[in-house]
Amino acid sequence: MKTITINNKQHHISAALERAIMRASVAGPLAISDFEEGVGRNRKNPVAAARNLAEQTAGALTVALVWRASSKIPARCLKARPRVQKWILPNTRRINLVLKKLRAAGEKS
Protein backbone atom coordinates (compact mmCIF):
# COMPACT_ATOMS: atom_id res chain seq x y z
CA MET A 1 0.00 0.00 0.00
CA LYS A 2 1.36 3.37 -1.01
CA THR A 3 0.43 6.68 0.55
CA ILE A 4 0.25 9.74 -1.66
CA THR A 5 -0.70 13.30 -0.78
CA ILE A 6 -2.83 15.43 -3.09
CA ASN A 7 -4.14 18.82 -1.92
CA ASN A 8 -3.04 18.12 1.67
CA LYS A 9 -5.17 14.96 1.76
CA GLN A 10 -3.55 11.55 2.12
CA HIS A 11 -4.75 8.66 -0.02
CA HIS A 12 -3.78 5.07 0.72
CA ILE A 13 -3.75 3.10 -2.53
CA SER A 14 -3.40 -0.69 -2.43
CA ALA A 15 -1.21 -2.61 -4.85
CA ALA A 16 -4.21 -4.08 -6.66
CA LEU A 17 -5.76 -0.66 -7.24
CA GLU A 18 -2.37 0.65 -8.35
CA ARG A 19 -2.24 -2.07 -11.01
CA ALA A 20 -5.79 -1.14 -12.07
CA ILE A 21 -4.80 2.54 -12.40
CA MET A 22 -1.82 1.63 -14.56
CA ARG A 23 -3.87 -0.66 -16.80
CA ALA A 24 -6.59 1.94 -17.26
CA SER A 25 -4.06 4.65 -18.07
CA VAL A 26 -2.74 2.60 -20.98
CA ALA A 27 -5.90 0.92 -22.27
CA GLY A 28 -8.60 3.52 -21.58
CA PRO A 29 -12.11 2.34 -20.63
CA LEU A 30 -12.15 -1.25 -19.38
CA ALA A 31 -14.85 -3.62 -18.17
CA ILE A 32 -15.02 -4.13 -14.43
CA SER A 33 -14.61 -7.88 -14.97
CA ASP A 34 -11.17 -7.33 -16.54
CA PHE A 35 -9.63 -6.84 -13.11
CA GLU A 36 -10.16 -10.31 -11.63
CA GLU A 37 -7.06 -11.72 -9.96
CA GLY A 38 -6.23 -15.19 -8.72
CA VAL A 39 -6.74 -18.73 -9.94
CA GLY A 40 -9.70 -21.10 -9.61
CA ARG A 41 -11.83 -20.59 -6.53
CA ASN A 42 -9.46 -17.99 -5.13
CA ARG A 43 -10.50 -15.30 -7.59
CA LYS A 44 -11.19 -11.81 -6.38
CA ASN A 45 -11.88 -8.48 -7.97
CA PRO A 46 -10.40 -5.61 -5.94
CA VAL A 47 -11.94 -3.00 -8.23
CA ALA A 48 -15.44 -4.38 -7.81
CA ALA A 49 -14.93 -4.74 -4.05
CA ALA A 50 -13.99 -1.08 -3.63
CA ARG A 51 -16.86 0.79 -1.99
CA ASN A 52 -16.02 4.21 -3.39
CA LEU A 53 -13.59 3.65 -6.25
CA ALA A 54 -13.08 7.33 -7.01
CA GLU A 55 -12.03 8.07 -3.45
CA GLN A 56 -9.86 4.97 -3.03
CA THR A 57 -7.95 5.74 -6.24
CA ALA A 58 -7.62 9.47 -5.47
CA GLY A 59 -10.05 10.35 -8.25
CA ALA A 60 -8.17 8.52 -11.00
CA LEU A 61 -10.86 5.92 -11.78
CA THR A 62 -14.66 6.06 -11.83
CA VAL A 63 -17.37 3.50 -12.52
CA ALA A 64 -19.77 4.20 -15.38
CA LEU A 65 -22.97 2.26 -15.92
CA VAL A 66 -23.99 1.79 -19.55
CA TRP A 67 -27.63 2.77 -19.16
CA ARG A 68 -26.74 6.02 -17.35
CA ALA A 69 -23.60 7.30 -19.03
CA SER A 70 -23.28 5.60 -22.40
CA SER A 71 -22.11 8.85 -23.98
CA LYS A 72 -18.94 8.74 -21.84
CA ILE A 73 -17.96 5.32 -23.16
CA PRO A 74 -16.49 5.30 -26.69
CA ALA A 75 -18.58 3.58 -29.35
CA ARG A 76 -15.68 1.30 -30.31
CA CYS A 77 -15.65 -0.15 -26.77
CA LEU A 78 -19.42 -0.67 -26.72
CA LYS A 79 -19.31 -2.31 -30.13
CA ALA A 80 -16.48 -4.66 -29.17
CA ARG A 81 -18.13 -5.72 -25.90
CA PRO A 82 -21.89 -5.11 -26.08
CA ARG A 83 -22.82 -7.15 -22.97
CA VAL A 84 -20.67 -5.23 -20.50
CA GLN A 85 -22.78 -3.11 -18.14
CA LYS A 86 -20.14 -1.63 -15.79
CA TRP A 87 -17.12 0.17 -17.19
CA ILE A 88 -14.10 1.66 -15.47
CA LEU A 89 -13.28 5.10 -16.87
CA PRO A 90 -9.97 6.84 -16.23
CA ASN A 91 -10.15 10.53 -15.39
CA THR A 92 -7.52 11.76 -17.86
CA ARG A 93 -6.54 14.87 -15.90
CA ARG A 94 -6.33 13.18 -12.53
CA ILE A 95 -4.75 9.87 -13.57
CA ASN A 96 -1.53 11.52 -14.74
CA LEU A 97 -1.13 13.27 -11.38
CA VAL A 98 -1.83 10.06 -9.45
CA LEU A 99 0.64 8.06 -11.56
CA LYS A 100 3.31 10.71 -11.00
CA LYS A 101 2.73 10.62 -7.23
CA LEU A 102 2.71 6.79 -7.16
CA ARG A 103 6.05 6.66 -8.98
CA ALA A 104 7.51 9.17 -6.52
CA ALA A 105 6.18 7.14 -3.57
CA GLY A 106 7.71 3.99 -5.07
CA GLU A 107 11.12 5.63 -5.34
CA LYS A 108 11.04 6.72 -1.70
CA SER A 109 10.43 3.24 -0.32
Range of the domain at 95: 2-108
**Cα atoms found within 13 Å of the Cα of residue 62, Cβ hemisphere only:** 11
Number of domains in the chain: 1
Phi and psi at 5, nearest 5°, equal -120, 125
Task: Give me the pLDDT at residue 70, please.
Answer: 63
Q: Give pLDDT < 50 ranges for the chain.
A: none
Q: What is the pLDDT of residue 69?
A: 58
What's the whole-model pTM score? 0.87
